[in-house]
C-alpha cells in the first residue's frame, strides 16, 4: 500500500497563477483533510471531507477550494495564488470521521508563490 500520495512534491508559482494539488489514498478511508504547515505555526486545517460527497471549511479556507472527486481522491485548488500561500501542504486521511481516529499523512507539497 502506498498510503497517502501527493503530487506534485514541489511547485513554484507566480502571483495570480492557479494550480491544483492532488491527493489520493489507497486505504479505503472515508475522511480526508488538507492542512498547511508554516514555520512556528504547526498545522492548520484548510478543508476536510468527512465522507465522499461532502466537504467543509476548516480553520483557514480563504483562497482555496476543494473537490472530493471520489472516495480515494481529494484535491485542493488555488484559484489565484498569493505569496501568503507559500507553505507546505499536507493531505491526510482517516478511516472514519471524528478526530479520535488516527490521521495518516502524505509526504507534503512544498509550494512557493513569488
Residues that bind another protein (CB under 8 A): 4, 31, 33, 40-45, 48, 50, 56, 58-59, 90, 92, 96-100, 102-108
Provide the minimum distance between the beta carbon of 10 and another protein in the complex, in angstroms, as a whole number. 11
Q: Note if the bond before 8 is cis, omega within 30 degrees.
A: yes
Burial status of residue 94 (CB atoms within 10 A of its CB: 0-12, 13-18, 19 or more) = buried
- Give the integer Cα–Cα distance in Å for 48 and 12: 24
- Give the integer Cα–Cα distance in Å for 17 and 48: 24
3-state secondary structure of 26: coil
Provide the minimum distance between the beta carbon of 45 and another protein in the complex, in angstroms, as a whole number. 6
Provide the minimum distance between the beta carbon of 101 and another protein in the complex, in angstroms, as a whole number. 9
Closer Cβ to another protein, 44 or 72, answer by number:
44
Closer Cβ to another protein, 17 or 104, answer by number:
104
Closer Cβ to another protein, 8 or 16, answer by number:
8
Amino acid at each position: 500500500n502506498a498510503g497517502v500520495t501527493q503530487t506534485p512534491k514541489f511547485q513554484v508559482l507566480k502571483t495570480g497563477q492557479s494550480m491544483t494539488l492532488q491527493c489520493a489514498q489507497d486505504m479505503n478511508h472515508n475522511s480526508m483533510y488538507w492542512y498547511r504547515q508554516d514555520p512556528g505555526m504547526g498545522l492548520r486545517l484548510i478543508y476536510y471531507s468527512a465522507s465522499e460527497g461532502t466537504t467543509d471549511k476548516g480553520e483557514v479556507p480563504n483562497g482555496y477550494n476543494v473537490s472530493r472527486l471520489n472516495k480515494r481522491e481529494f484535491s485542493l485548488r488555488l484559484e489565484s495564488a498569493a505569496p501568503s500561500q507559500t507553505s507546505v501542504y499536507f493531505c491526510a486521511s482517516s478511516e472514519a470521521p471524528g478526530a479520535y481516529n488516527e490521521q495518516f499523512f502524505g509526504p507534503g507539497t512544498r509550494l512557493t508563490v513569488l
